Structure 1
């Protein structure tokens, strides 16, 4: 009855019916799915996502709840402005429910496509390629049967995503195979923005593949073509010019590096808020010891009031670059000063505290490092990523403090925990080895 009301656009009566169904059987997943759909109709995205998430955990889940929850979670993590990029931990719930859904519905091309993207984001690239290949086969068969332009567009998007995944495993010939398919499906002069984005991304992927294959002339041709496609779109052009500058820089010649600087400087002049271009240009200045280039890149954003600067720099990239710049010049005192100011400006951010503590440890000031980290220790609760980032530092600071059996045991325990949480991180093993050698002394 609830679905019937919803079909006829009566969300209020639909909600009443779903609520009664939940009252009669709180474990009936379809009732929770229905309420999630009502929340979606009413524009309550966060509530809808929570309802779908609850439905996925019931004893007899509804398959549609799995894919709806995964789609909403993936969209949220991709579109919500965030100071820190989402981690694989954030996407694991989507991975597990999509795996369950695709096992029960192996012919759902949309779910397979989404599953492939989730696999890519959590680092399972090979599995992502396998899943996306299955989605592409289904889309190709459907298009041959119907010649539906919507299916053709989805097929082109799938090939573009496949090219990106192939690029990440250095399968450059297959990258070019996928991009050629997309070029054959898209118009040379697209009219709508979505198609322009798709074409520009494909041109850039092709350019990167040619670059990696040593075909520099072809690479620059595709990169410049992508710039042309994005000419009237400042946002898209801002992304592409950074990638073009990085590629020109990677060529290694003086001419390439000067061209990269010129492209980025021109981009900053036309779009002063293109923080990616600013940071890239500053990075080039740091690498070459060109202090005037660093100043030219960062002067405008550093002149802004603190609140405006932080809003334009959610990743705190400018602070990181300034610290690295002063360290490269051997000015440790200035690097420490910048890190201290960053902590004072945002004392609740554990990342800034970890940076300052790391600098203190490098200067042999374990007492200050321990005090700085103490302010961020509460972030471990419920936040696995913060623990992964800081436990090795905490182990080292305790180890460097005046020795005692309790402190030594605590340092060893923290180092072991860091290894258990992130066994792939070399720094955690180094911290464990350091603590072990100090114990022997």
Structure 2
């Protein structure tokens, strides 16, 4: 099957600038393509993981990915999907985040023997002469048309800064530079990047009359249209220090039934026949599909060993089998004995505030060693730590082990 049709069947593709040309191109040539990643944090998150999966599928079909890290564009900040201006990052922060991205990307893409490239757009954007850029690129951009782009519309109400207005031009320049350096023929990105991608495609076609193509992929959303990958602690990170493999596994184990098929198609390499079979399960049987989803996604991101540990920990909690070694464990000082449990849980960030903890306790949503806790002023004692450990259950499915040290 043509890789374009494979991507479409799995539900990745949202829009394409020249659909039939792209299908023919991918069928007859092995092309170089790129996806950009602005280093706004020190870890990739699950939204980036979707992009890495697309790159992996394309690479398996013989095409060469470029992971373009935004050491230049990151100094400006993409206004797409934003109602406010992004935080300005220092050069030191950008460099650190770029290095973190590079390490993580190597888990998903084969960079050996030039099969893929990691490139930093700071190499050219930071060296640009402003007047030369205006004269060289400026005539190819219509301000009227730029202002109609979705990525700018949301910012118009609060005020679009001239800094952000330049982002589209910088991204288009990236495509032009990658075309010149590496014969890159296609830019891919999330559907919120459509306007920016079109700008790059049109710049190459107008200025150099070169073949250039753009393709956007669907954003990772729930069946209700909400963005996936948000947890009570924030984003679902790929760095195990920011989101543990256990918590990562639990996120996918607990997705809504209606989202299972979509996640299996987008975030695993399972054949579509199997995806369709698992996605069609109903009632209690859909839990088997969720176990496979959680295991497969965790295995791809964190490796077989961590996926197995997370699965074992889950089995131990819900069926009394397996090992608890991978359940989130928090070491607390013995000096906490005599303190209020709520204070300890807030201190250890199991709750974001005392108010959150009190509400859950009043709703019978907190258990200690399998017993519902009704007292918001519960004092910790040695009796709460048989074998030096105390099990806390928050809500229906979140578990924590408190260990006395």
The structure with the largest helix share of the pair is 1
The structure, 1 or 2, with the larger RCO (C-alpha pairs under 8 Å, 6+ apart) is 2
Normalized against structure 2, the TM-score is what? Answer: 0.26
Question: Is the radius of gyration larger for structure 1 or structure 2?
Answer: 1
Normalized against structure 1, the TM-score is what? Answer: 0.25
The structure with the largest strand share of the pair is 2
